[in-house]
């Protein structure tokens, strides 16, 4: 039997197993992270969905069986024979057609095609139920391009891609606005709420500098991997402000000009930004990128200036997305691996999530007993 045929048939014989997956996933997420969602929106069996990810819905939900259509469309058996013999498949196809219209002929073989209408419907339902600004900001950040790429990275410790258990807990908690800690005083004297939001914006946190250094190292290594020599923090380029850009390519990058870049990170849920983040994902990163571009405007005639602007919930500025895609393609041209773009986004996403945990720890003041 064709391997995909066996998968398809097994799935059809056990529809209850498919429909029970969301509750299993949800209970497992609670067990791993020890976090409980604060509202009904996040506590049901239907998880937050991304438009470019497959999902399982509630019992009887169309999304739970959409991958069956994808399997069936790639089977060696004729589709009309499948429709005649499989009542579960016929029933589901009728439900899908009633909700989303007549399916194409021939039927599409991609799971994402069948998932997409249900995901968009779920997204609309969730978004309409959000009333708090911070919830809306977290939701929009979760559906931003490449914001969840850390979940796709292979957890290889030697490559720095394995997130520690506590980093996963903090990443999930911040994405869903959950309780991460007991409200306490930061070592700077400010109050830290249960969601740990001040920890991300505290100017005295040593992790802020370390985060920028790690992100800058990722960019530098990627540029070098594209066979473009570069150095960090070149001297004598900007005497007006007394600060140096994060890096400079030693050969022309575009239009005969070298590349000059600057890494900056902002907080999605900072009090001064929350009004902006509730209107769209990545807008705060765009604003930060515009500020850096204006600051180094006097260098743009001689250099290609590129701000690398990220948010702590992983949305990236539009110019950063374009730059990283171009950089990944250049690396693919050298290595021959078309996945280099994905790998680059994954490394950046993992680094951002790891330092969310580091910054939260920086806010704790631990009194150690002298022995």
Tell me the domain boundaries of the chain.
3-129, 132-371
Q: What is the mean pLDDT of residues 43-71?
A: 43
In the chain, % of residues over pLDDT 70: 74
Instruction: Give the predicted TM-score (pTM) of the model.
Output: 0.77
Flag whether pLDDT at 133 surpasses 60: yes
Angle at the Cα of 110 (from 105 to 113), degrees rounded to 5?
Answer: 75
Per-residue pLDDT reduced to its tens digit, 79-129 = 454 444 567 777 777 888 888 888 887 777 777 787 888 888 888 888 888
Yes or no: say if 122 and 49 are a contact pair by the CB < 8 Å rule. Answer: yes
C-alpha 38: how far from its chain's center?
22
Flag whether pLDDT at 55 surpasses 50: no
pLDDT of residue 310: 95
pLDDT of residue 330: 96
Per-residue pLDDT reduced to its tens digit, 163-185 = 998 999 999 888 888 889 999 99
Q: From CA 267, how far away is CA 293, in angstroms rounded?
A: 19
- Provide the pLDDT confidence category of residue 367 given band limits of 50, 70 and 90: low
Question: Higher confidence at residue 148 or residue 112?
Answer: 148
- Provide the pLDDT confidence category of residue 58 given band limits of 50, 70 and 90: very low
Q: From CA 82, how far away is CA 72, in angstroms rounded?
A: 8
Residues forming a β-bridge with 249: 230
- As given in the structure block, the two tokens for residue 245 are 């850009």
């Amino acid at each position: 039997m064709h391997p995909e045929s066996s998968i398809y048939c097994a799935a059809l014989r056990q529809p209850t197993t498919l429909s029970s997956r969301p509750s299993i996933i949800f209970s497992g997420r609670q067990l791993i992270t020890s976090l409980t969602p604060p509202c009904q929106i996040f506590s049901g069996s239907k998880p937050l969905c991304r438009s470019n990810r497959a999902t399982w819905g509630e019992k009887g939900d169309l999304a739970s069986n959409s991958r069956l259509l994808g399997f069936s469309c790639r089977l060696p058996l004729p589709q009309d024979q499948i429709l005649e013999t499989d009542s579960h498949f016929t029933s589901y196809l009728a439900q899908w057609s009633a909700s989303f219209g007549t399916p194409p002929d021939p039927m599409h073989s991609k799971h994402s095609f069948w998932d997409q209408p249900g995901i968009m419907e779920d997204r609309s339902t969730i978004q309409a139920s959000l009333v708090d600004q911070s919830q809306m900001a977290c939701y929009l950040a979760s559906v931003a391009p490449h914001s969840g790429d850390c979940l796709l990275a292979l957890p290889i410790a030697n490559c720095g891609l394995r997130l520690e258990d506590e980093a996963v807990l903090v990443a999930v908690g911040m994405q869903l606005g959950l309780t991460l800690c007991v409200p306490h005083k930061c070592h700077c004297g400010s109050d830290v709420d249960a969601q740990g939001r001040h920890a991300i914006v505290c100017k005295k946190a040593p992790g802020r500098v370390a985060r920028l250094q790690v992100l800058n190292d990722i960019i530098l290594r990627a540029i070098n991997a594209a066979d473009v020599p570069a150095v960090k923090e070149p001297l004598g380029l900007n005497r007006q402000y007394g600060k140096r850009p994060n890096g400079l390519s030693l050969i022309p990058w575009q239009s005969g000009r070298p590349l000059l870049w600057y890494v900056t990170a902002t907080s999605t849920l900072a009090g001064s930004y929350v009004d902006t983040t509730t209107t769209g994902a990545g807008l705060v990163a765009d604003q930060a990128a515009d500020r850096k571009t204006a600051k180094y405007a006097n260098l743009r005639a001689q250099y290609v200036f590129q701000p690398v602007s990220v948010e702590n919930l992983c949305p990236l500025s539009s110019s950063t997305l374009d730059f990283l895609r171009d950089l990944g393609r250049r690396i693919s041209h050298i290595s021959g691996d078309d996945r280099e773009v994905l790998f680059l986004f994954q490394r950046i996403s993992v680094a951002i999530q790891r330092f969310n945990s580091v910054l939260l720890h920086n806010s704790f003041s631990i009194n150690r007993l002298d022995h």
